[in-house]
Copies of this chain bind each other. A is one copy, B any other.
Amino acid sequence: MQKLKQDKWKVLSRKYLHTRPWLTVRQDSYELPDGRVLPEYYILEYPEWVNTLAITKDKKFVFVSQYRPGLEQNDYELCAGVSEKTDKDMEAAARRELLEETGFGGGTWREYMVISANPSSTNNLTHCFVAEDVEPIGDRHLDASEDLQVHLLSQDEVRELLVTDNIKQATQAAPLWKYFAENKLL
């Protein structure tokens, strides 16, 4: 496979339009390798995100649901969240989110996939974990903006969500399809 040419675009200017807790917008201008100038290119800056495909000892998949104002609907989702400065690494962030949102923890964890919601306009990555043999270990502690339900789904139910195109979050559909593919669960 051909090695990709890595000519970066040259940053001509950079300024921040918004630096709010949930919205950081940067406006860059770039010069392309052939000399063209793009005067107005927007980058959304975020902390790293995490999500977890968590499976209990009795083979239930831990899902959550909550209203999503972007799409204006509720969907089944993996437990997911934002890494915080106090998390020692991405696995710690994912473990914290799983405990806060669902009360589940423990088990065997591994980083499974690292992807981007949009490489052209977002600067962060989503770290997707698989956690096997999780169990209830504590109380839930939701953030002020959270209003979510926990669902323990069977493998058949998760497969049904996948094949009927009802996993809408791309950073979760990707690791779920990978997991069902690698483990021959389709």
A6 to B73, CA, bound (A): 7
A174 to B65, CA, bound (A): 20
- The interface size of chain A toward B, counting residues with CB under 8 Å, comes to 76
**Contacting pair B186 A153 (CB below 8 A):** no
**Contacting pair B147 A32 (CB below 8 A):** yes
Which residue of B is nearest A9, CB measured?
B67
Q: Decide if the interface of chain A is mainly helix, strand, loop or mixed.
A: mixed
Which residue of B is nearest A2, CB measured?
B151
A170 to B176, CA, bound (A): 12
- Complex interface: stretch among A83-91, A111-119, A133-141: A111-119
Which residue of B is nearest A169, CB measured?
B119
Per-position 1/0 for A1-19, Cβ under 8 A of B: 1101111110000000110
**Contacting pair B115 A170 (CB below 8 A):** yes
**Contacting pair B67 A7 (CB below 8 A):** yes
Sample of 9 more A-B contacts, CB < 8 Å, known A22-B41, A77-B119, A115-B173: A1-B153, A9-B67, A9-B69, A22-B40, A30-B69, A38-B145, A71-B123, A126-B170, A173-B174
